[in-house]
Each structure stands twice: as C-alpha cells, then as structure tokens.
Amino acid sequence: MQAERTLGLLRLATGLSLILALVNHLLPPKPFALTQLMFDYSQGLTRRGLVGELSQLVLGAEISHAEAFFLAAFVTLIGALSFYLFLVRVLPAEMISGWLLVILALNSFAFASFVGNVGYLDGLLLALTLLAISLPVTLAGLVLRALLVVAGVMIHENMLPYFTLLIGFDLWQRRGNARFGAAIALMPVMLGLLALFVLVGFSKLDVNSAEAFAAGLEARADFWLDPTALEVSGRGISGNLALMAELRGTTKYWAWVLFDGVPLLAMSLWLIWLSARLLDTPFGRVLAALVILAPLSLNLIAFDVVRFGAASVLVGFVVIALLLRDSEPARRLFPRLFGWPHMLVLLVLNVNIFTIQVNIGAFHVGQFPWVLLTQLKWLVP
C-alpha cells in the first residue's frame, strides 16, 4: 500500500514538473527563432528550409505574427511533450528510482533551457529522434528511421551531431550481438553525413544570394526578422570557424562558457558516469560517452553554448532510459546507483541554476505565478 501511494505521488510530481516547466519557460519566442522558421526553398535547396517550406502549405505564403507564434510554440511543445512521454512510457512503471529520474530530468536546467529556447528547431529534431528509437528493429523500422534521419538533417543540420549517434546507440543496444549489428548501428550517422553532404553541395544560398533570400522572407512576414539569422544562413563552415576564432578572444564568450557551459557539462559528465556503471562492456561505455558528448562538438564551429549543452544532457537522460528499457542487469543495479538522496542533491542544484537564455534572452522575470504576467506577451506581441 505504501509503495502504491509513493508511486502515485511521484506520478503527480512528474505531471506537475512538466506543467510548471512549460508555464515558467515556454515564453514568447525571440526574433532569431521566428526568422529561422521562415526559411524556405525560394532560392533553391537551403539549409533549415524544410519547416518553412512545409508551413506555407498550411499557413499560406504570408505569415502573420500570431501564426509565427503558434508555429514556434508547436515546435517546442512537440519536443518537450515527446521527451516527457518517451521517458514515462519506457521506464519501468513500478520502479521508484525511474520516476525520480524523470522528475530530475523535467526539473533540470537543461530541460528549462530547451523549453526556454522557444521556436528553435531542436524541438522537432528531438521529437523525430524519440520516434525513431521507439520503432521496432525490422526492415520497415530501419527504412522509417532512415527517412526520419534525412528529414531531421533537412530541418536542421544539427540533427547529425545531436541525435544520429543516439539512434545508432539504440540500434546497437538492441542488435549489438546480431549479425551486422555494428554496421546497422552506423547507418544513422552515415545517412546523416550523406544528407548533409547533398544539402550543402546543392544549396544555392551563399553570401551573394542571401540578400534576395532575405527580401523574399521579409515579403512573406508581417513582423520584424532578425538579420543575424539571415547572416548565419549564408555562412558556411569556414566562415563559422573564422567567427569562432574571433569570439574566443572575447570576455563574453568565456563568461558564457563558464556560467552556462560548465554546469551543463557537469550534468553531462554525471550522466556519462551513470551510463558507464549500467553498461557491462568497455565498448558500450565508450559509445554511450560519445553519444552524450557529440552535441558539444558544435561548440567548435558555432556560438550557442546553451543549446548544445542542453541537447547533450537530454541525450544523456534518454541513454539511461534506453538502458533501463532494454537491460535487466541495468534495471537491477539502477536503484542502488540512484535513489532519494542522490536525486535530492541533484534536484536542488538543478532548480537553482538558470542559463542566460531563460533568464534574459527569453524575457524571464520570475518563477510561477509571477511569470504569468510575462506570458501575456503571447497575446500582445
């Protein structure tokens, strides 16, 4: 009876954690995110243009501010809800430590940062990935995974370092001992690389055509577009490397790394340690670590410490969930590695750390209930 009552309260706490995370952090999107949602194929094949192209089929050629707000909220909500539903569905329903893990994940500052970056295409990438690792390992399931990977890269090239390794890890976990198991596990990464190669190779957008591209987007939108998002669209990898070399000499960059990047990295390292304890092979431990660290590789070529760190932490939670789903030894060991004392210490640390996007960039002024005043900006852009 006591165990059932505890599980019931934990389920309630899980639901409240999700609701409060959305209320506190799903704030009106920034112009940068809205601008990238507008990208389309008006100038030919373009990075990140799939969502904008598809949205025209539903919303029409011209998009109002209210419609852009709706699209931004949808993009983030589908990612956040997919994360919640995946964890709740795959973790053993009667495992108290499993529910504690979900509560920690939903109250982590990484999840708050993910939700707080309203409208960023990361939400769609996460949703596609969680769908992919929920599919059966059949021929049809592998084909559908391949399509989801290609679609993800076309939505945003971050799909490659963010999540293709995670999809491969899931395949290895379920088919590692089967014939061609390792080759099958490499499929998502190789497909992601191929899709990115085609996308970049055939893209018509560069610094010379960016002005015409921007003019076309401005003609479709009845709201202000962020010119920095348009600059990014026409800048290649070499341009990003040059920009990052310049930024690493600024105080702003290192302050962002120290106050946002280091705490997120600490959470990633804890999840790597936890996965290493749950895995029983050296190769599995190395692979899990690479999966969790992969999103952080983008810090070498792009200036977005919080998004990359948040993706790394969320991937780490998904890795632990996959191990508990598929491994009986991991399920037996997990309650000894993660219980009430560990969860409370980590929870206290997480709820007292906030990243710059949530606090400043997304106009965050306080926690519930005062944040409801900020939410009125959804109604009056």
21-43 pLDDT, tens per residue? Answer: 999 999 999 888 998 999 888 87
CB atoms within 10 A of CB 226: 15
Q: Which of 129, 146, 103 is nearest to 295 (CA)?
A: 129
Confidence (pLDDT) at 174: 85
Q: Are 309 and 110 in contact (CB under 8 A)?
A: yes
Residue 201 CB contacts under 8 Å (≥ 6 apart), including other chains? none
Q: Are 275 and 286 in contact (CB under 8 A)?
A: no
Helix (H, G, I), strand (E, B) or coil at 339: coil
State which amino acid sits at residue 123: G
Helix (H, G, I), strand (E, B) or coil at 63: strand
Please give the Cα distance from 325 to 90 (Å, whole number): 6
Residue 83 lies inside a defined structural domain of this protein: yes
Confidence (pLDDT) at 362: 46
Output the CA torsion 250→251→257→259 (10° steps): -160
Q: Which of 166, 169, 170, 185 is nearest to 313 (CA)?
A: 166
Residue 238 lies inside a defined structural domain of this protein: no
CB atoms within 10 A of CB 327: 17
Q: Are 199 and 157 in contact (CB under 8 A)?
A: yes
Residue 97 lies inside a defined structural domain of this protein: yes
Residue 207 lies inside a defined structural domain of this protein: yes
Please give the Cα distance from 285 to 300 (Å, whole number): 24
Q: Are 295 and 129 in contact (CB under 8 A)?
A: no
Confidence (pLDDT) at 363: 45
Confidence (pLDDT) at 224: 82
Q: Which of 297, 302, 155 is nearest to 237 (CA)?
A: 302
Joined tokens for residue 159: 């799909």
Residue 23 lies inside a defined structural domain of this protein: no
Residue 24 lies inside a defined structural domain of this protein: no
339-372 pLDDT, tens per residue? Answer: 999 999 999 999 988 887 665 544 455 678 878 8
Low-confidence ranges of the chain (pLDDT < 50): 361-363
Please give the Cα distance from 170 to 318 (Å, whole number): 10
- Treating both helix axes as pointing N-terminal to C-terminal, what angle do 122-132 and 65-90 enclose, rounded to 10 degrees? 30
CB atoms within 10 A of CB 30: 20
State how many domains the chain has. Answer: 1
246-302 pLDDT, tens per residue? Answer: 888 888 888 888 999 999 999 999 999 999 999 988 989 999 999 999 999 998 888
- Residue span of the structural domain in which 135 resides: 2-17+29-233+243-378
Confidence (pLDDT) at 320: 98
Within 122-219, strands assigned E span: none
Residue-level length of the chain = 381
Q: Are 310 and 264 in contact (CB under 8 A)?
A: yes
Q: Which residue has the tokens 């390292």?
A: 269
Q: Which of 363, 311, 377 is nearest to 164 (CA)?
A: 311
Joined tokens for residue 91: 């973790």
Helix (H, G, I), strand (E, B) or coil at 221: strand
Largest CA distance in the chain: 69
CA distances from 362 to 34, 64, 349, 381 (A): 13, 20, 22, 13
